[in-house]
């Protein structure tokens, strides 16, 4: 298991954390979360690093829906510097670092499991207590740090969660490593098989990643969205059908694809209780519904308990990434099996992060993935 393989390296590196490589009083720009809905670009110290750590100059950081929810709903106390879909260039290395050099092009994960606890043994990596420690920061309480000019990558992330980027791959593309990993983990959790009919609710950037990844695994994919430009992109990227539930006959399309049984799997990649209810209806007896976007604590959804009991439909969830899928995600992006560049609609400098957050939180017909380029 990859988590186990990296554990010894991580423990060795952590023992060497006895000396700082200071930033010599240098400052950088960073977007600091100051409270619900409040982000301000400020000057903060460039992070110091320890012996087993690296400092990365951020070249691209994707805006993720989980960070948007934390900012909008005030789910965590301020101050913090968010942004965890990070790609950039190694700017400084600690004395104990042997795998990376200044100038290396890298992408980083921000969570790595311990590899040895009850949850890791069950491969429930995102439930591991060590996994919940954020290992990249630009200052304050570690929260990713990608919305800054430089990010400190802690030793266990250097050892097990940092990936070199080929010269042929852009930083923008490489920033998709972590989000694609979460999608691959969702498909693995849902046990997708070749030939199955999979319905993906929402064809935003995550929904389009899920659609492409399911198709790459041999599934027949139906994408649902209310925005026609997104449906056009879904068709372009390989969806067998891309439909607007408000005007298209989704039931008939799925019935024709499945001899009337219903979809094998429905993935809800939209934060919509109505979508969850429809997904439970649209899957066949013994089918699965996977929740992917329901991440706000206390959120309630409608559940037809009889369909779960009498029709043996399964309601499951998937959250965050899997350390075992890092290599697969990287390969799919580096070889362009998954077209992530097509999903980027807007790029903003750090000073316009507020505009990027506004657009990502309230997408237009022609907006998809927002990438910040500090």
Over its length of 374 residues, how does the chain's per-residue pLDDT go in tens digits?
333 444 443 454 444 445 666 677 799 999 999 999 999 999 999 999 999 999 999 999 999 988 898 999 898 999 999 999 999 999 999 999 999 999 999 999 999 999 999 999 999 999 999 999 999 999 999 999 999 999 999 999 999 999 999 999 999 999 999 999 999 999 999 999 999 999 999 999 999 999 999 999 999 999 999 999 999 999 999 999 999 999 999 999 999 999 999 999 999 999 899 999 999 999 999 999 999 998 778 888 889 899 999 999 999 999 999 999 999 999 999 999 999 999 999 999 999 999 999 999 998 889 999 999 99
CATH of the domain at 309: 3.40.50.720
One domain, residues 279 and 198? yes
One domain, residues 110 and 250? no
To the nearest whole percent, how much of the chain has pLDDT over 70?
94
**Model confidence over 258-293: pLDDT tens digits?**
999 999 999 999 989 999 999 999 999 999 999 999
Residue 61 within any structural domain of the chain? yes
- Residue 25's pLDDT is 78
Residue 184 within any structural domain of the chain? no
Q: Range of 261's domain?
A: 191-317
Please give, one letter per residue, the 3-state secondary structure of the chain: CHHHHHHHHHHHHHHCCCCEECCCCCEEEEEEEEECCEEEEEEEECCCEECCCEEEEEEEEECCHHHHHHHHHCCCCCCECCCCEEEEEEEEECCCCCCCCCCCEEEECCCCCCCCCHHHHCCCHHHCCCCCCCCEECCCCCCCCCCECEEEECHHHHHHCEEECCCCCCHHHHCCHHHHHHHHHHHHHCCCCCCCEEEEECCCHHHHHHHHHHHHCCCEEEEECCCHHHHHHHHHCCCCEEECCCCCCHHHHHHHHHCCCCEEEEEECCCCHHHHHHHHHHEEEEEEEEECCCCCCCCCCCCCHHHHHCCCCEEEECCCCCHHHHHHHHHHHHCCCCCCHHHEEEEECHHHHHHHHHHHHCCCCCCCEEEECC
**Model confidence over 66-82: pLDDT tens digits?**
889 899 989 899 999 99
- Residue 2's pLDDT is 39
- Among residues 277, 296, 317, the one where a domain terminates is 317
- Among residues 301, 317, 333, the one where a domain terminates is 317
- Residue 219's pLDDT is 98
| Total structural domains within the chain | 2
Residue 183 within any structural domain of the chain? no
- Residue 122's pLDDT is 94
CATH of the domain at 162: 3.90.180.10
One domain, residues 296 and 208? yes
One domain, residues 145 and 253? no
- Residue 20's pLDDT is 66
One domain, residues 146 and 288? no
One domain, residues 301 and 353? no
């Amino acid at each position: 298991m990859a988590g186990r393989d990296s554990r010894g390296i991580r423990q060795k590196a952590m023992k060497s954390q006895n000396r700082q490589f200071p930033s010599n009083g240098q400052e950088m720009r960073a977007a600091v979360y100051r409270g619900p809905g409040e982000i301000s670009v400020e000057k903060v110290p460039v992070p110091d690093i320890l012996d087993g750590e690296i400092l990365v100059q951020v070249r691209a950081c994707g805006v993720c829906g989980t960070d948007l929810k934390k900012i909008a709903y005030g789910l965590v106390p301020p101050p913090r510097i968010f942004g965890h879909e990070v790609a950039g260039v190694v700017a400084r290395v600690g004395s104990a670092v042997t795998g990376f050099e200044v100038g290396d092009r890298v992408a980083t994960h921000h969570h790595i499991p311990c590899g040895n606890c009850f949850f890791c043994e069950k491969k429930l990596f995102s439930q591991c207590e060590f996994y919940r420690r954020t290992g990249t920061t630009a200052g304050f309480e570690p929260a990713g740090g990608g919305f800054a000019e430089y990010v400190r990558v802690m030793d266990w992330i250097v050892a097990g969660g940092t990936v070199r980027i080929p010269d042929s791959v852009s930083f923008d593309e490489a920033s998709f490593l972590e989000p694609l990993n979460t999608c691959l983990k969702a498909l693995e959790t849902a046990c997708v098989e070749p030939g199955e009919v999979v319905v993906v609710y929402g064809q935003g950037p995550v929904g389009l990643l899920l659609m492409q990844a399911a198709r790459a695994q041999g599934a027949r994919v139906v994408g649902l969205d209310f925005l026609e430009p997104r449906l056009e992109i879904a068709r372009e990227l390989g969806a067998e059908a891309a439909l607007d539930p408000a005007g298209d006959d989704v039931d008939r399309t799925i019935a024709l694809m499945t001899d009337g049984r219903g979809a094998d799997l429905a993935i809800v990649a939209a934060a919509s209780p109505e979508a969850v209810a429809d997904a439970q209806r649209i899957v066949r007896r013994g089918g699965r519904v996977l929740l992917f976007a329901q991440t706000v604590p206390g959120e309630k959804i409608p559940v037809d308990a009889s369909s779960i009991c009498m029709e043996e439909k399964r309601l499951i969830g998937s959250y965050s990434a899997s350390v075992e899928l890092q290599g697969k995600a990287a390969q799919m992006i580096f070889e362009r099996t998954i077209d992530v560049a097509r999903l980027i609609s807007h790029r903003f400098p750090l000073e316009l992060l507020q505009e990027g957050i506004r657009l990502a939180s309230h997408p237009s017909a022609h907006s998809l993935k927002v990438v910040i380029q500090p």
